Structure 1
Amino acid sequence: MKNILKILFVGTSLAMGSCSDLLDTEPRQSLTPETAFADVEGYQSLAYSMYGRTRSFSYYGQVMMIAPEVMADNLKVIANTGRYIGQEANADRAHINLWDFSTTNNFRGLYASINDANIILDGIDGVDGDENLRNRVKGEAYFIRALNYFDLARVYGYEPGQEVNGWDQSVILRTTPTLGLSAADFRARSTNTEIYDQIIADLNQAISLLPTAEMGEEDVYRASRGAAQALLAKVYLYTSMYTEAASLASDAMTSFGLSASGNGLMEVDDYVAGFSIAPNPESLFEVEIRSQDWNSVDGLNNSVCSLVANVYPSAQFILTVSDDLLASYEPGDVRRETWTQTTREGSSAIVYRSNKWLGHKGDFLENLPIMRASELYLIRAEARYNLGNEDGARSDINALRSKRGLGATSASGTALMNQIMYENRVEFAVEGHRWFDLKRNGMTITKSGSFEEVPYSDYRILAPIPQDEIILNDLLENNPEYN
């Protein structure tokens, strides 16, 4: 029976990873790799589909923005619809799932997107086409594959140097396409170091191939050299390679025209309104969502806007800011204005809607910035702090604070690191950073209200690999205490 399931799984995986449902140039039954990928433009079409997977509600379209906030201490549930109840309580197996091939919202796990990238990188050099376009599509494939593996690695594994009891297993590494049964196989998990080495190699390739982009312009809807530099800076921070993190953050700032004093960041009066502009004026890489990308009820049922705001009468509005996050804002901090007091039908409690996600494109629709310019200042500040350069760290923090309506900090030592963590918390509330910022630093996951904290040594820090995958693959071992 297990062998039969494996055969079914492989066949399903191949169908999901294929390109036949991505292009409409020929009838599906006659479309072959030879006709779909006869030139560089054919591979560019697959790259567009690869980008499209990023906006899935099971990925950045919702889960990666919301779950890391609920699982830590930034958001709380105000209506029990069954969503995020387990994540708020950090219940067993209530985590983030980026692995398996669910058909929900056309989300088939990140390995489908990784396979798209692998198809591109395996074949694009063998077809005719413009060299500049070829390099761009290759660079995009390296970038998206790196982003996918980075997210898988931080959900399912510890960061290098932060392992608990020596557990260094990460995810399965695949860098070649699966195009038929003869190419399909089952593999064991690679180590966290092996996965991060691949991510770093991919991003260095992307940097060498991608064009530049201007911050806040439509070019940020696709990967650029500056976006790859920014993501690599973040990856280096996660791997405690602080010299490299500071250097790449500086390179990305140069690519996007950001100054050490904060010039290029939004001014105080523009900050809140910036989240209702497409693209966001500080966007380095942004997921574009258009009305044709959704079914008729997607926005109502699944959008970030529907879950955290009530600007549309039919909104779900099930999540609001935690009490301690709301109380933590300093007087004059414009980021406090991203929350507006409101009401929710059926509840007498004081609740707040998020002003970051207001569905400004209509009918719950908005783009989602995945990386913003302010992150570069905080990456470099943290890297500099860990390198013993407290003056440089303070300079970066104060550059950001000056654009958020606040005066300079003079914190030093542990208080300075706490300030960096705090700035990350308030700057990126409802943008999916909080859980990962605590985890990558080996910190206890703090909670709001009456929920118990999650010690870093607790098994719930890592997500479980879906049990169906464990059953199908004899080589696949689950994370500790999930067996």
Structure 2
Amino acid sequence: MKRTIYISKLLSLLVVASLFLVSCESELETEPAQSISTDVALGSEENIKNILIGVYAEIGNDASLGGSSQIMADLLGTVDEVSWNGTFADPREFLNKNILVTNGFVEGAWDNNYETINQANLVIDNISAVESSQEEADRVEGEAKFLRAMAYFDLVRLFAPAFEAGQANTQLGVPLRLQGITDFSQDLDIARSSVADVYNQIISDLNDAYSLLPADNAEFADRYSAQALLARVYFQQGNYAAARDAADDVLTNSGHALAASFDGAFNNDADGVEDLFTLQVTNQSGDNDFIVFYASQSNGGRGGDISIEQAYLDLFDDPADFRLSFNYISPDNGLILTSKYTNQFGNVPVLRIGEMHLIRAESNFREGTSIGLDPLVEINALRGRSNAGPLAALDLDVFFNERQLELAFEGHLIHDVKRTQGTIGGLSWNDASLVLPIPQSEMDTNGLMEQNAGY
């Protein structure tokens, strides 16, 4: 792996901070400033908590879940429902399914997710430094494991062939590095683990996080953030019974509910009733690439680099559906833009209750069960929030369509196509062009790395 990126940016700052703090102690108790050890920087509860804040900042960076990962997924997932109107070449490659190994978005997502993972590893490795209480140590460790799982889930879905339900899933996944790196003089080459092994690690981390985290944790990840992500992971695997049960736990016990109106789920400065996990954005900190690429200039964006096309609007079966009209005409160029991203400093929603209803309903339907709610009742209740008329019956195509109506432009499309083994234009769900290349920079520096097929 790249030798230069994984050490925590915060760790470097913490070494400097430790130098200052140590200088305040007696000479007999201090290490010489020029030889301050990493152990000192990682040896205090305050520093470990500061690194944890850095993990949130890394995963919320615009190169990963601050927008780019979801945008890549949505452009990969269609050929005609959106268009790319921007001047940047890299995003157009996803829509055209012709991605170069030097693509900057690809390299950014890879690097930033592994930076997230390394910082999370440093927290987990040094959790014994959190000594104020066991409850506090559990919280810190639980958040770090949640964030590590989220980063690995992002990586394995984008950079590896899809998980196939009922198969061994021995296809190449992504490297599993589960210990923090601070010594870059060592050999850092590492091979790719299997898709099955990566998913097993993700599930293990999320189960740990669920056990360790409190039920409520302000704006940070809590127990039900972990359970919601676990529901999404099981759903992607086609483990519908487990996905149903995890989603039902969230819906029954988290205290969260659907926002009263569809627009209430978006553009919020603070977490709302529907939010299970968001990335925090203010006018001082945080990234929101959805604004950059989806919004008009007056809303803080580039004028609508990604616009809605008629093929998406044609998915709606009821002209009264509020979600159909939840868009606007850009004053910059007359293009149709989604209204999900109009607040430049709004939080980035990552996990929300609407998705949990869709997971539970489809999983119940596939399993022939009605845990929590009958699937048809649940889908019609979700549609009813947006004033869409009730459906008379369900099938798997209806569920796929309902996910597009509710979750469009939130980073789900390519993953739903792969989970359901569908097609995109003339491409099958397992076409090599729908898997991102390992960045050339990684290939150049990791002697054990294997490139994906087709690159």
Same fold (TM over 0.5): yes
Quickly say closer, same or farther: Cα 1:458–1:303, change in 2 above 3 A: closer
Query: Contact 1:238 / 1:440 at 8 angstroms: preserved in 2?
Result: yes
The 5 Å alignment of 1:187-336 reads 187-213=190-216, 219=217, 221-257=219-255, 264-267=257-260, 270-278=261-269, 279-293=271-285, 303-310=289-296, 312=298, 315-317=301-303, 318-329=305-316, 330-336=318-324
Structure 1 residues 98 and 344: CA distance shift in structure 2, 3 A: closer
Contact 2:265 2:272 in 1 (8 A): yes
Distance 1:467 1:162 in 2: 31
Indicate how the Cα distance of structure 1 residues 37 and 212 shifts in structure 2: closer, same or farther if over 3 A, else same: same
Gap change, CA 1:159 and 1:392, over 3 Å in 2: farther
C-alpha distance in 2, partners of 1:403/1:109?
Answer: 37
**Residues 1:475 and 2:448 are matched in the alignment:** yes
Give the match for residue 88 of structure 1. Answer: 95
**CA deviation vs aligned residue, 1:109-143 (integer Å, no higher than 9, x gap):** 21111111111111112552222211100000110
* 2:12 aligned counterpart, secondary structure: coil
Which residue identity is paired with 2:100? R
Q: Tell me the distance in 2 between the aligned counterparts of 1:99 and 1:177.
A: 23
The alpha-carbon deviation at position 427 of structure 1 amounts to 0.9
Q: How does 1:440-479 map to 2 (within 5 A)?
A: 440-446=419-425, 453-479=426-452
* Structure-2 change in CA distance of 1:235 and 1:165 (3 Å): closer
Aligned-partner Cα distance in 2 for 1:418–1:243? 19
CA offsets 1:196-223 (integer angstroms, 9 cap, x no match) = 011111000000010112xxxxx46311
User: 2-side partners of 1:91 and 1:284: how far apart?
Assistant: 35
Greater shift after overlay, 223-232 or 278-287?
278-287
Q: Distance in 2 between matches of 1:458 and 1:333?
A: 34
Question: Residues 391-444 of structure 1: CA distance to partner in whole angstroms, max 9, x if unpaired?
Answer: 8332321221122212322224xxx21111111111111211111111222211
> Structure 1 residues 430 and 95, CA, compared in 2 at 3 Å: closer, same or farther?
farther
Q: CA deviation at 1:474?
A: 2.5
CA distance in 1, matches of 2:87, 2:349: 28
Q: Which residue is 1:450 aligned to?
A: none
| Separation in 2, partners of 1:94, 1:371 | 30
2:96 maps to a residue whose letter is A
Q: CA deviation at 1:183?
A: 5.4
Q: Kindly tell me: are residues 241 and 403 of structure 1, through their superposed partners in 2, closer, same or farther at Cα, counting changes over 3 Å?
A: same
1:42-61 matched pairs, under 5 angstroms: 42-61=47-66
CA contact under 8 A between 2:161 and 2:430: conserved in structure 1? no
In structure 2, the CA distance between the partners of 1:473 and 1:342, relative to structure 1 (3 Å rule), is: closer
1:161 paired to 2:160? no
- Measured at CA, do residues 124 and 356 of structure 1 come closer, stay the same or move farther in structure 2, by a change above 3 Å? same
Over 3 Å counting, the alpha-carbon distance change for 1:58 and 1:161 in structure 2 is same
Name the aligned partner's letter for residue 392 of structure 2. Answer: S
Corresponding residue for 1:399?
381
CA distance in 2, matches of 1:252, 1:95: 40
Q: 2:120 aligns with which of 109, 117, 120?
A: 117
Q: Distance in 2 between matches of 1:342 and 1:14?
A: 40
Aligned pairs, number: 435
5+ residue gaps, structure 1, are 1-5, 214-218, 259-263, 447-452
Aligned residue type for 1:205: D
Structure 2 segments unaligned to the other structure (5+ residues): 21-32
Q: 2:154 pairs with 144, 151, 155, which one?
A: 151
Instruction: Identify which range, 77-86 or 379-388, moves more after superposition.
Output: 77-86
Kindly indicate whether the alpha-carbon contact (under 8 Å) linking 1:98 and 1:109 is maintained by their aligned counterparts in 2. no
Contact persistence 1:445–1:454 (CA under 8 A): yes
Tell me the TM-score normalised to structure 1 length. 0.82
- Map of 1:3 onto structure 2: none
Assess if the C-alpha contact under 8 Å between 1:439 and 1:445 holds in 2.
no
Contact 2:165 2:238 (8 Å CA) reproduced: no
Residue aligned with 1:76, SS: strand
**1:338 corresponding residue in structure 2:** 326
TM-score (norm 2): 0.87
Cα deviation code 1:161-212 (max 9, x no counterpart): 2699986110000111112146543121111110101111100000001011
1:228 partner SS? helix
Q: Using the TM superposition, give the Cα deviation of residue 18 of structure 1 relative to its aligned residue in structure 2, in angstroms.
A: 6.7
Q: Who is 2:25 aligned against? A: none
Q: CA deviation at 1:283?
A: 0.7
Pair 1:208–1:89, CA change in 2 (3 A)? same
Instruction: Answer yes or no: is 1:36 the counterpart of 2:41.
Output: yes
Q: Distance in 2 between matches of 1:159 and 1:289?
A: 31
Match of 1:431 in 2: 410
Aligned residue for 1:57, secondary structure, equals: coil
Change (3 A) 1:14 1:422: closer
Tell me, in whole angstroms, the C-alpha distance in 1 between the residues paired with 2:331 and 2:6.
48
Offset of residue 290 of structure 1 = 2.1
The percent identity for this pair of structures is: 27
What's the CA shift for 1:275? 1.6
The answer to whether 1:387 aligns with 2:374 is no
Contact 1:280 1:369 in 2 (8 A): no
